[in-house]
Every structure is written in structure tokens, then in C-alpha cells.
Structure 1
């Protein structure tokens, strides 16, 4: 490590103790960020100060937060999200298909609106992008986190989560559809005047192996007046279909196709 004038170190520590970030101090004094971090670490150790990672977690701090963004993000998490919570690794990941760049952007924006402080990033994977936000406090906001796969454990909302969903049900439905659903065109044939004709019509699908998550989805649709039905495809009964014209129109007005 390069040697620096003690006066520069002293000035850096004054700024750091005032709450100025390592990056800002490094840029101001033209000192490597790693050096600034080391000075801060040594200063805390000498003063016996235990470092606590700052957080803007709404659960831990009691601050208000963007509930609309949270309702959407909860839907994404229950569909294609998971949380890594280990001693030295904590992050929320949402997996978004490469075909939907708008979804990738919206997922990252929702994370930042709910908790602006944590660093976010994107990681390209095969056929999808993993959108990540790094903080252990996502487990506070998503108490459904636990060992094993979601469909192998109970998924139930806390009272405060249900209140948010009740206030912003369409945002929750959008998150679920954007993660584990789609809007597509189905077709059927009918005999008209002795001639078989093909008809196409739009349909919303939602597919999730968890009985609990499907129940959360259909309960919310019921409250919104959206008609739905279970469908078995390829021998699996994990599909929820919305195909009635009026219900599809409601979904189009509030959800729409992924983009």
C-alpha cells in the first residue's frame, strides 16, 4: 500500500466520521478507495466501534416505502425470484427472459423503489437475465423465504403484506403474470353453415407448481371480478386460464403482455 501524508489520513477520517462515503472521500482526496476503506477499518478498531451495515429496510427502520412497487415485486418474487441469505452473501434475484427487456428494466426499478440503498446489478445467464439486489434485509420484506423450493413449503402472506395486496391487487397480479404467466392467442374451430372455421381469441395463462401461490393468484382474481378456471396441460394441473372476453379485457387494461 502506498504511503500517504498523515494529514491526508486525518482529513479522510474527519470526513468519514461525519458520514461521508468512502467513494466521496477517495475522490475528494485523490486516494484509492481501498486505502480509504482500510483507514476507516483501522480507525473503528482503535476506537472500539462495531460496524453496522446501514440499511433503509422499511421493516427495520419503520420508514414508509413504495407499496405499489412492492406489490409488483412480491408477484415477481413468488414467481421467478429467490433470496440467497448466507453469512457473507445476501441478495434477492429475479430471473427475467431475454425476450422481455422491458420486464428486466421494470424488475430492477421495482427493487430500487422499494429499497433504494442496496446495490443492484444484472447477470446474463442462458436465455435470461438475473436481476439482483444485494442486502440481507430482503428476508425482512419477503418472510416467505426459507429452505427448499417454494412449492415444498407453506407460502402464506403476513397481515401487512395482505393489506398491501388488497390495496394494490392489480400490481400484484401483474407481477405474477410477468414472472410465471403470459398473454397469448388460442384458437378453436367451429362448424358454421356446414363449414369448419378457425377462430382465435386471447387468453392469459398463469402456471405455478405451488398450490399456495396459485391460491393467492386466484383469490386476488376473485376480488377483482376476473373469471378463471383450472386447466390441465400435459397431465399437469398447475395452470390457471383467463379466457372470458370481459375478464381478458380487464387483464388487458391492467396487466397487458410482457414486453
Structure 2
């Protein structure tokens, strides 16, 4: 077992008490990070100092956060996200198509921008990658969390969330489309000069069973002068379609296809 001079330990404790992170102390003094962590634990125990796990939850503290990244992450959460919050298991999870690495990176990046402190990870599942961020405080950031499926309960934004969406509407729309939406090419037949020809056109689609979530999207699209229509599936409203040329051009400019 390696032993360290008393002076090294005292120097480490002085740095730790000044607020320096364990990893930086370990690097400076060439001491294993686990040893530094143990020294800190023992020092706190001797001084009777209670341990409070550091956190950067913007709701529980005054820590500022990236509103633009949050608007995008809110869209992802409402579409393909959920929160696990139970004993010894707390994380935000966003399911991303495994064939779209850009989306996977964007989801993890948004999590880190909103709350840099919690660790993140990726879990490969059949056909998708689950991007996770581990902290119980994601329930503070997404008060829409609750038991059951989203389309089976009311989804209403808090005033502070709506203010962020109003300030960054395109990021919110981009998050929703990147989760439960797509850019696709439709086609139809038209008679031109007496000859039937195939005509193709692009459009954006968003599919979600929740009336509330679809309305959050369509209300935002209306404020952005994007024309949309609702299409039914099995007799019930399900898809938001954006097919008008001018509106598709706006979506291409601010949203674009997933990749």
C-alpha cells in the first residue's frame, strides 16, 4: 500500500477546504483520486461537517441555465422522453434513433448545457440509443413528469416554461420534430397537358397521441406563421402535417431533417 507524507495530506486538505475539486487536488499532488476522496471524507467526519451533495438545479438554486438548450430539450422530452424517479434511481431518458448520431449528440449536449453537473450516459437498445442524465432534479425542470403515459394525463407548461418557449420557439419546435416528427417526401398524381404525371413534394409530420402536446406544437407554429393541418388516424386526431411550400421552407431553415 502506498503511504503519503503528512505534509501532502495537509496540503490536500487545505486545497479541498478552499473549494478545489477532488480531481484537481489529485492531479496537482500526484495522489490517487480515491485517496483524496477518503481524506476529504475523514476530514469532514472529524470536523462534524455534514455532507451536502453539490447540485446545479436551476429551480432549487439561483444557478442560471441555457434557455435555448432547454427549449430544445423540452421538445425532446415531450416527444420521446421520460423521467425515472424512484429510490436510488433518478434519471432523464431520451430515446433516439440509433441511425441518427447527430440527434444523439444533440440530446446529450442539451442535457449538459441545461445542467452540467449530472453525469450522462448512453445505452444501446434494439433500434435506438437511450441518452440519460442522472439526477433527481430533472423532475424540477420537467414538472410534467407523472405516473402513466403522457397522452393519458394533462400536459400544461408552467409559466416559466412558456416564457422560454415564447423566447425560443424554433428550438422548441425543433425538439418536438426531432423526437416525434420527421421530414418526408410525399407524392401524388396530377394530369398535366392531358398526361398523368407523378408529383413529389416535401412535408413535415409530427405524430403524437396527446392532444395537449400537439396543441403546444400547433400554437407555436401559428405564432411562427407556419401553416399546418391535423390528420386523423383510426378516426382520432394524431398527425400534424406541414406541407405548404412557404411553411416547409421555414421549417427547412430552422429545423431541418434529423440526421
Per-residue displacement from partner, 1:20-72 (whole Å, max 9, x unpaired)?
Answer: 11212222333332222222222222222211121222222223322111111
Structure 2: gaps (5+ residues) = none
Per-residue displacement from partner, 1:127-163 (whole Å, max 9, x unpaired)?
Answer: 2222222222222211111222212221110001111
Aligned pairs for 1:62-211 (under 5 A) are: 62-211=62-211
**Aligned length in residues:** 259
- How many Å apart are 1:87 and its aligned residue? 3.4
Cα RMSD, aligned residues only: 1.9
The whole-number CA distance in structure 2 between the counterparts of 1:46 and 1:222 is 61
Normalising by structure 2, we get a TM-score of 0.92
- How many Å apart are 1:236 and its aligned residue? 5.3
Segment drifting more, 116-125 vs 17-26: 116-125
- How many Å apart are 1:3 and its aligned residue? 4.6
Q: Secondary structure at the match of 1:212?
A: helix
- How many Å apart are 1:235 and its aligned residue? 5.5
Normalising by structure 1, we get a TM-score of 0.92
User: Which residue of the partner structure matches residue 33 of structure 1?
Assistant: 33
Q: Secondary structure at the match of 1:185?
A: strand
Segment drifting more, 210-219 vs 189-198: 189-198
Structure 1: gaps (5+ residues) = none
Aligned pairs for 1:232-247 (under 5 A) are: 232-233=232-233, 237-247=237-247
The whole-number CA distance in structure 2 between the counterparts of 1:112 and 1:151 is 27
Segment drifting more, 16-25 vs 168-177: 16-25
